Amino acid sequence: MSLTILNALVAVVAAIAFAALNAAYLVWAERRGAGRIQRRPGPNVNGPFGLLQPPADGIKLMTKQLMIPGGADKALFMVAPVLAMAPAITSFVTIPFSETIVARSMDIGVLMIFAFASLGGMAILFAGWGSRNKYGVMASVRAVSQAISYEVPMLITVITIVMMTGTMNLHELATSQAGGMWNWNIVPSLSSPLMPVSFLIFFICSLAETNRAPFDLGEAESELVAGFHTEYGSMGFGLFFMGEYANIVIGASLITILFLGGWDCPLGLFPGVWWFLLKIYLLIFSFIWIRWTFPRTTIYGLLNLSWKILIPISLFNLLLTAGLLKVF
Amino acid sequence: MSGPIHIRPDETFTLNVGPQHPATHGVLRVKMEMDGEYIVKAETVLGYIHRMHELMGENRTYPQVLPNLSRLDYLGALGYTHGHVLAVERAAGIEVPERAEYIRAITVELNRVASHLFWFGAFVMDLGGFTPLMYAIEDREHILDMLEAVTGSRLTYCYYRFGGLYNDVDDDFIAAARAFIPRMRKSLKKYDALVTGNIIFRKRLEGIGPISAEMCRKYGATGPVARGAGLDFDVRKNEPYSVYPEFDFDVPVYHECDSLARYKVRMDEMEQSLRIIEQGLDKLPDGPIMPKKKPKLIKPPVGDYYQAVETARGSFGIRIVSDGTKNAYRFKLRSPTYSNMSLFDEACEGMMIMDALAMMGSLDLVIPEIDR
Amino acid sequence: MIKETVKQALQDLFPDPPPVVEELVAEAAAEGEEEKKPAKKKEEPRINGVIERDHAAHGYDIDVQLEPGQLLAAVMILDKTGFFLESVTGVDWIKEDQLESVYDFSRFDFDVCRVVIRTRTSRSEPKVPTISKIYPGAGWHERETHDFFGIKFEGHPHLIPLLLPEDADFHPLLKDFKP
């Protein structure tokens, strides 16, 4: 009995540690990647290759004074960063890294992750409203409308996949694609010829859900100073930051599990956790690459893209797959 | 500050795009009354960097005012100094040797390219693309290195003197300038591919911020703002000065009147400036750089004199009213950004704030030039 | 050439003007009723009218001096012929106890013609009608001239300090300004 509890505890702690370490070192990867794209070195002062930069940043953020603007709603102000970080870390519990490495394999894994992702939208609203700053309110309104609009095509695409595989359990979703590249969900098959399109839609939606450029209107630095986290210093900002990167890792993991076969090797030879990690880091690198290449969209361009383009296409794909599944 | 926020009956709130803001490129304050994301009314508040250069022009002798002109628009400083020395030379009747005029034209065009490069980087950064800024600044560094070797300053030049220059260019400068031109042409192609062809960028700018030709006329907007509205107006061609009639270059004019047109005007202008630099380097005559007979004390005859030059931002004019003494009686600086910015209040009514700020970026503002 | 048209139209504002003089050198003297004084020490005040100037010597083509009452008519002539407002400024002639408002106009096409309109008012009661109804761009220029010289532009919708602080009550470019 106690061993099971110990197992569970270790699993949870390991998941949280993985999430936190990723969040911290993704910042390093982003800054080095941005530097390389912009033809400059990126952080290389603290430690070899700047690897000690995240701990240095962490210490700096922790020692700064946490200022709460006068008249701000204290409860909302303090809750918002926690609400941004907690769901992301909690979602790690159910993500399978390989055949055996999974903290807790739940039958409603997909549903749980998306439920927690919606909580993140609330965090943005709390942050903007609670800081009693007009820039913050405008930015959080934008970010919430963006979050809601892009959840819909994402969920429709996920429903398509769940329909094909018949389960919401992330572990089983990944094992159903085992056996090489041609088994992966991204490859168009007889019952779902538009799978690459679904992959693209899901990719764009995860960019938008995690508030990454070109969809980073919530933190549009040039127009709204710093958007919904204008008034946050020190660890409040640190938590938002880490929450964003944890969300990115979750988004990349979801794409990998749903479309790219999880821990499966492309040639079906040596499946394992290293393939999983390779795939998510390649996806995260493409996120970083896209961020530093493209400018920002406008709010109406963003909403148009979601409601007028992505949702009809994903709905069509859903209906097509449902019909074809009946036939084949 | 701790009381409740009062909501006005028509539900607009005031947003201060304040003196400290990443998008305004300087200390500019725009008080916007917003209805959600839409601007109902905007009012520009100036004066945060007002240093009263015009009074300094009255309190100093003519040569002592020379450094002031660079502080107006620090990104395109040589154009302003050029205007100033031409105005005083016209007033006092000083002849300029041809070599000096050619070098002046070459350095002004180099400075124009540097100014447009910086505008390009900052503008795209405003829209959210952080990378082209780094590329543009790297290209600009080459220009600044070249000019530093000759003039001694990187940004606020004081290179021209009444009658010519104080320092001649050497072969290193000419070689560096010649090497820079093909490099810059390659960079312009790269910016075209990276930025101009980008669909997100085009959607941000097409149809945004329309400034018609009639509005330009009523407000006195010149430079790329007017050329993006279809007006073929460039002081170098319309009212030629210095040695520009000798050069063969085009003036890019686009008729769409939106921010993308203004952007394209400036990108094309960079190419035309490179053409002028090439021709200038080819035609550079030998000779002195200062006239033989130069008056010791510059005391223009009584009267008033006006000189307009084309800077990176538009038509810059200096009016010198002289009463025969060694200080100017009135030293009026007509800055192009002042007139370009004055139309912002009327033009941004009814726009969303993102579009208004994109339009502000396309106007190419340098605030010290507005406030003088 | 637009210069001739505009010159003619502006001259019509002055019912019995002295003949328009061609200016040859920088130091000009008004011919006609006035005798040309040999010494430059004592200059006659300039009479209202249109003078054509040498562009290479002065930088502008037509120089008009008029009463504040004629200002709007002259500016409307220029607006109809398609000039754009370059700037509005002032000059403080303390010796003659007058404040002068100077308006610069220019053209966008290749028919180069710069027009300068001047109007003088007394230093104690400087009132000039505003041209911001015709040229909205004059709004800022007139506010700045008011800041620096204290010239009141009647009819201006929003004549508050532009470059000086909101509560400034001094006018820096007046010649007797003590900081």
Give which of B239, B306, B315, B322 to mutate to test C binding, by max C Cβ within 10 Å.
B306
Give which of B127, B135, B196 to mutate to test A binding, by max A Cβ within 10 Å.
B127
Of the listed ranges B129-133, B178-182, B314-318, C24-28, the least confidently predicted one is C24-28
Nearest CA in chain C to B56: C173
Mean of all residue pLDDT scores within chain B = 87
Provide block-wise average pLDDT over 10 residues at a time, chain A (328 residues): 77 80 85 85 80 84 79 81 84 80 78 86 83 77 85 90 84 78 73 82 88 74 60 77 86 87 76 83 90 83 88 90 83
Share of chain B above pLDDT 90, in %: 26
What average pLDDT does this structure show over C21-36? 38
Cβ-Cβ contacts under 8 Å, B204 against chain A: 295-298, 301
Is B128 in Cβ contact with A220 (below 8 Å)? yes
pLDDT: is C30 or A249 the higher one?
A: A249
Q: pLDDT digits over B30-83, tens only?
A: 888 888 778 888 888 888 888 889 888 888 888 898 988 888 888 889 999 999
ipTM confidence: 0.86
Contact at 8 Å (CB) between C161 and C147?
A: yes
pLDDT: is C103 or B196 the higher one?
A: C103
Cβ-Cβ contacts under 8 Å, B259 against chain A: none
pLDDT bucket at C28, cuts 50 / 70 / 90: very low
> C62-66 and C115-122: which strand pairing?
parallel
Q: What is the structure's pLDDT at B169?
A: 87
Cβ-Cβ contacts under 8 Å, B141 against chain A: none
Q: What is the structure's pLDDT at A2?
A: 67
Q: Is residue A25 part of a domain?
A: no
Q: Is residue A103 part of a domain?
A: yes
Q: Is residue A39 part of a domain?
A: no
Q: pLDDT digits over C74-104, tens only?
A: 888 888 888 889 889 889 888 888 888 999 9
Q: Which of B52, B232, B305 sits opposite C58 (nearest CB)?
A: B305
Share of chain C above pLDDT 70, in %: 83
Q: What is the structure's pLDDT at B184?
A: 92
Nearest CA in chain A to B135: A38
Helix (H) / strand (E) containing C154: strand C152-154
How many inter-chain contacts (A to B, CB under 8 Å) are there? 85
CA distance B190 to chain C (A): 33
If we measure between CA atoms, which residue out of B192, B209, B309 comes closest to residue B259? B209
Do chains B and A touch, with touching meaning 3 or more CB–CB pairs less than 8 Å apart? yes
Q: What is the structure's pLDDT at B40?
A: 87
Q: What is the structure's pLDDT at B266?
A: 92
If we measure between CA atoms, which residue out of A177, A320, A316, A149 comes closest to residue A255? A177
Nearest CA in chain A to B355: A298
Instruction: Look at residue C40 and tell me whether its pLDDT is greater than 70.
Output: no
What is the CATH topology of the domain spanning B67-334? Answer: Cytochrome-c3 Hydrogenase; chain B (1.10.645)
Nearest CA in chain C to B234: C108
- Tokens representing C48? 């209202």
Of the listed ranges A230-244, B182-196, B207-221, C66-80, the least confidently predicted one is A230-244
Is A222 in Cβ contact with B22 (below 8 Å)? yes
CA distance B265 to chain C (A): 17
Cβ-Cβ contacts under 8 Å, B35 against chain A: none
What average pLDDT does this structure show over C122-140? 88
Is A299 in Cβ contact with B200 (below 8 Å)? no
Q: What is the structure's pLDDT at C38?
A: 37
pLDDT bucket at C179, cuts 50 / 70 / 90: confident
Q: pLDDT digits over B115-153, tens only?
A: 999 999 888 888 877 888 888 999 999 999 989 999 888
Q: What is the structure's pLDDT at A22?
A: 84
Helix (H) / strand (E) containing C117: strand C115-122
Is B321 in Cβ contact with C136 (below 8 Å)? no
* Spatial separation of the C-alpha atoms in residues A211 and A247, rounded to whole Å: 10
Q: Is A37 touching B (CB cutoff 8 A)?
A: yes
Nearest CA in chain A to B357: A223
* Spatial separation of the C-alpha atoms in residues C143 and C145, rounded to whole Å: 5
CA distance B339 to chain C (A): 7
B287: CB partners within 8 A, 6+ apart: B97, B98, B99
Q: Which of C27, C82, C91 sits opposite B321 (nearest CB)?
A: C91
Q: What is the structure's pLDDT at C39?
A: 37
Cβ-Cβ contacts under 8 Å, C171 against chain B: none
Is A297 in Cβ contact with B130 (below 8 Å)? no
Cβ-Cβ contacts under 8 Å, A41 against chain B: none
Q: For residues B253-278, b (16+ Cβ closer than 10 Å) or e, as one string?
A: bbeebbbbbbbbbbbbbbebbbebbb
Is B2 in Cβ contact with A71 (below 8 Å)? yes
Q: Is B185 touching C (CB cutoff 8 A)?
A: no
Q: Which chains touch C (3+ CB pairs under 8 A)?
A: B
| CATH number of the CATH domain containing C68 | 3.30.460
Contact at 8 Å (CB) between B286 and B99?
A: yes
Instruction: Look at residue B22 and tell me whether its pLDDT is greater than 70.
Output: no
Q: Is residue A41 part of a domain?
A: no
Q: What is the structure's pLDDT at A257?
A: 86
Write out chain B in H/E/C secondary structure: CCCCCCCCCCCCEEEEECCCCCCCCCCCEEEEEEECCEEEEEEEECCCCCCCHHHHHHHCECHHHHHHHHCCCHHHHHHHHHHHHHHHHHHHCCCCCHHHHHHHHHHHHHHHHHHHHHHHHHHHHHCCCCHHHHHHHHHHHHHHHHHHHHHCCCCCCCCEECCEECCCCCHHHHHHHHHHHHHHHHHHHHHHHHHHCCHHHHHHHCCCCCCCHHHHHHHCCCCHHHHCCCCCCCHHHHCCCCCHHHCCCCCCCCCCCCHHHHHHHHHHHHHHHHHHHHHHHHHCCCCCCCCCCCCCCCCCCCEEEEEEEEECCEEEEEEEEECCCCECCEEEEECHHHHHHHCHHHHCCCCEHHHHHHHHHHCCCCHHHHHC
Q: pLDDT digits over B295-321, tens only?
A: 788 888 888 899 999 999 999 999 999
Helix (H) / strand (E) containing A276: helix A273-293
Is C104 in Cβ contact with B306 (below 8 Å)? yes
* Spatial separation of the C-alpha atoms in residues C112 and C83, rounded to whole Å: 10
> B303-311 and B314-322: which strand pairing?
antiparallel
Cβ-Cβ contacts under 8 Å, A134 against chain B: 13, 15
pLDDT: is C25 or C108 the higher one?
A: C108
Domain that holds residue A224: 66-327
Q: What is the structure's pLDDT at C33?
A: 30
Domain that holds residue C88: 2-35+42-124
What average pLDDT does this structure show over B99-120? 92
Q: Is residue A3 part of a domain?
A: no
Q: Is residue A26 part of a domain?
A: no
Cβ-Cβ contacts under 8 Å, B21 against chain A: 225
Q: What is the structure's pLDDT at C30?
A: 37
pLDDT bucket at C35, cuts 50 / 70 / 90: very low
Q: Is C103 touching B (CB cutoff 8 A)?
A: no
Q: Which of B126, B131, B138 sits opposite A222 (nearest CB)?
A: B126
- Tokens representing B140? 């600009």
If we measure between CA atoms, which residue out of C111, C94, C167, C158 comes closest to residue C132? C158
Which pTM value belongs to this model? 0.86
Q: What is the structure's pLDDT at A11?
A: 77
Q: Which of C57, C82, C172 sits opposite B55 (nearest CB)?
A: C172
CA distance C92 to chain B (A): 8
Cβ-Cβ contacts under 8 Å, A294 against chain B: 128-129, 198, 200-201
* DSSP structural state of residue C47: P
Nearest CA in chain A to B128: A295
Q: Is residue A40 part of a domain?
A: no
Neighbour count for residue A112 (Cβ, 10 Å): 19
| Bond prior to A214 in cis (omega within 30° of 0) | yes
Q: pLDDT digits over C135-170, tens only?
A: 888 889 999 999 888 888 888 888 888 888 888 888
Q: What is the structure's pLDDT at B309?
A: 92
